[in-house]
């Protein structure tokens, strides 16, 4: 259970809680008011509890829950970026909004604790506190490169089929077929989210209705526009 503690050398309340890996952590809430500090502390504790591996019988027998890899995520807040790991980055970032309402998920990549440790060491000079770093041009470039590489890997299996039902202009490397029922295919963006971005003009999606059918359709995502959106999302915080 999480608990609050005063600190002799700091005006802020500190939170003691158990991490998903089983270790205890003592961390500043950056809050002087005890009530607000409690909200932050409870949010961290809940987030870690959600990320912790379950010990139930189903978790040991279900192949869908076993050996789920942790993801390295990047989340921005003002001129800072958080580099952390989580099994469910969107949910993890959402849990921090009590303390940082403007926090936004930039993206996430494979790599787990190993990559996280490498990035923390590489940008240690820019570390402000814990997992928070100043978003310098060099760090921006690294995040962009990692997200681009991840995008290429995650969409490699989504190449459009070469058949008579697919328009010729979509049979290129710039377009990939988006399965209608797949979730979190690209950077945690579900098909529903991608369609919303298309409606806003942020990315391009081509919709093709199958011959002889009024409902059956196929959707293709334009990779260059998606990559540009991801890069713009990283660029938004001004250094």
Q: What does the pLDDT look like over 143-200, one tens digit per residue? A: 988 888 877 666 554 444 445 555 555 555 577 766 554 444 566 566 777 777 888 8
**Cβ atoms within 10 Å, residue 71:** 22
Q: Which residue has the higher pLDDT, 93 or 186?
A: 93
Task: Tell me the per-residue pLDDT of 71-87, one tens digit each, with 9 for 90 and over.
Answer: 899 998 888 999 999 88
First-to-last C-alpha distance (Å) of the chain: 37
Average pLDDT, the chain: 75
CB-based contact 75:106 (threshold 8 Å): yes
pLDDT band at 138 (very low <50, low <70, confident <90, very high): very high
CA distance 103 to 105: 7
Structure tokens at 187: 């950077």
CB-based contact 186:221 (threshold 8 Å): yes
- CA angle, 186 then 111 then 190, to 5°: 15
Query: What is the phi/psi pair of residue 88, to 5°?
Result: -135, 80
Helix axes 223-235 and 137-155, enclosed angle (nearest 10): 150
Average pLDDT value for residue range 122-127: 91
| Per-range mean pLDDT, top range of 33-37, 202-206, 233-237 | 33-37
pTM of the shown model: 0.54
Please, what sign has the CA dihedral across residues 13, 18, 19, 24?
positive
pLDDT at 118: 93
């Amino acid at each position: 259970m999480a608990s609050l503690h005063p600190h002799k050398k700091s005006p802020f309340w500190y939170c003691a809680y158990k991490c998903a890996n089983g270790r205890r952590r003592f961390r500043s809430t950056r809050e002087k008011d005890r009530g607000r500090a409690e909200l932050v502390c409870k949010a961290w504790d809940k987030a870690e509890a959600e990320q912790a591996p379950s010990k139930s019988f189903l978790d040991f027998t279900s192949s869908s829950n076993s050996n789920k890899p942790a993801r390295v995520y990047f989340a921005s807040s003002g001129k800072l970026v958080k580099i952390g790991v989580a099994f469910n980055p969107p949910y993890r970032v959402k849990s921090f909004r009590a303390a940082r309402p403007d926090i936004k998920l930039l993206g996430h990549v494979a790599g787990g604790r190993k990559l996280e440790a490498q990035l923390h060491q590489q940008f240690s000079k820019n570390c402000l506190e814990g997992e928070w770093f100043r978003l310098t041009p060099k760090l921006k470039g690294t995040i962009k490169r990692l997200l681009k590489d991840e995008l290429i890997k995650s969409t490699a299996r989504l190449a459009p089929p070469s058949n008579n039902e697919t328009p010729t202009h979509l049979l290129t490397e710039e377009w990939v077929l988006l399965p209608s029922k797949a979730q979190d295919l690209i950077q945690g963006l579900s098909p529903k989210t991608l369609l919303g971005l298309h409606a806003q003009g942020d990315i391009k999606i081509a919709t093709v209705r199958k011959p002889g059918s009024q409902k059956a359709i196929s959707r293709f995502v334009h990779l260059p526009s998606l990559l540009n959106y991801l890069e713009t999302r990283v660029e938004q915080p001004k250094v």
